Amino acid sequence: MRDHLGLTPTKFLRNVRLDRVRNELAVKCVPGTLVSDVATRWGFNNLGRFSAVYNERFAEYPRETLERPATCHPAVGTRAFSTRGER
């Protein structure tokens, strides 16, 4: 993986998880979203270290992402779509 992406598998997976956290924080369709809840859901149990690597990757802290205004897309973070094909 390092030869193809320039990252170890561990760093690649961490970056994927960081991207998912950032997406959830930016979209924030669920009222009362907490950085700690999103981070632990994606496997970041040391919140201090999580905040540091998040800042290293995105040049902002997770709380700053969460505080920015965002538009909620109905398909993300909600149960807007039924499994029966109804809208």
Listed as ranges, residues in the chain with pLDDT below 50 are: 75-87
Which pLDDT belongs to residue 69?
Answer: 83
Which pLDDT belongs to residue 34?
Answer: 94
Which pLDDT belongs to residue 6?
Answer: 79
Determine contact, residues 38/21, Cβ cutoff 8 Å: yes
CA distance 36 to 13: 19
Helices 47-58 & 9-27 angle (0-180, nearest 10)? 90
